[in-house]
């Protein structure tokens, strides 16, 4: 369980940010939409940014979410992201220059091989988590795939990771539940709610 002190308090004068990073097809855009809607529900201003199009074809995908009482830029500058949510292990390494020394990181323990690794030209950095831990104090590692399987829908990995993220954000659980209800089609709502709660307890 998360300690109270580790919850990201919302300070109205300060803009905070979450950076989600992973691979096309992992549901990152949906996840960042949900996060924004929950932020809006709790009365904050919020902006998010990502790149569509070519990047979807198995390339790396990022989504910046920034929130506070008034947000101007939808993208965060390097060295200023508060929380990194990595949907894939190797992708946790790619954006470390966006973080501050005290930033917190969630890593989904999943390996998706990029082309150069498949071809045998480069090695997959299997020690990614240890490397991240060398530079950052708060690193939470989860297996969202297993959580999603337990919840009964393998595609609910993204909501499982939102559940993990929710431990660190000062947002009412009922707001998360409301938005998940609204966003997903009826037949997958239960699995996604379950995945979210399992992630929140992970």
Candidate ranges 120-128, 155-163, 169-177, 188-196; the one touching another protein (CB under 8 A)? 120-128
How many residues bind another protein, per CB under 8 A? 64
Candidate ranges 1-9, 123-131, 155-163, 188-196; the one touching another protein (CB under 8 A)? 123-131
Report the residue from 98, 168, 176, 184 that binds another protein according to the rule CB under 8 A. 98
> Residue with structure tokens 């409301």?
178
In terms of CB distance, is 76 or 151 closer to another protein? 76
**Polymer length in residues for the chain:** 202
Site membership for another protein, residue 134 (CB under 8 A):
yes
Give CA–CA dist 7/25, Å, rounded: 29
The structure tokens listed for 162 are 């939102």
Of residues 37-96, those binding another protein (CB under 8 A): 37, 40, 45-60, 71-80, 90-91, 93-94, 96
> Residue with structure tokens 């909501």?
159
Contact by Cβ (8 Å): 164, 106: yes
Site membership for another protein, residue 36 (CB under 8 A):
yes
User: CA 97 → CA 77, 80, 82, 86, 93, distances in Å?
Assistant: 10, 9, 12, 14, 9
């Amino acid at each position: 369980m998360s300690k109270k002190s580790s919850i990201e308090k919302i300070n109205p004068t300060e803009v905070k940010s979450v950076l989600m990073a992973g691979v096309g097809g992992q549901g990152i855009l949906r996840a960042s939409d949900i996060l924004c809607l929950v932020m809006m529900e709790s009365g904050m201003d919020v902006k998010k940014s990502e790149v569509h199009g070519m990047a979807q074809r198995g390339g790396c995908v990022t989504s910046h979410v920034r929130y506070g009482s008034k947000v101007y830029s939808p993208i965060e500058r390097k060295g200023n992201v508060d929380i990194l949510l990595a949907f894939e292990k190797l992708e946790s390494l790619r954006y470390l220059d966006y973080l501050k020394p005290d930033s917190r990181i969630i890593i989904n323990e999943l390996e998706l091989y990029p082309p150069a690794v498949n071809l045998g030209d480069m090695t997959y950095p299997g020690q990614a988590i240890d490397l991240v831990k060398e530079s950052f104090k708060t690193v939470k590692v989860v297996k969202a795939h297993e959580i999603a399987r337990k919840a009964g829908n393998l595609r609910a990995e993204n909501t499982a990771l939102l559940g993990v993220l929710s431990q660190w954000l000062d947002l009412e659980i009922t707001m998360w539940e409301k938005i998940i209800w609204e966003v997903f089609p009826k037949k997958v709502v239960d699995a996604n709610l379950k995945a979210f709660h399992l992630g929140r307890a992970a």
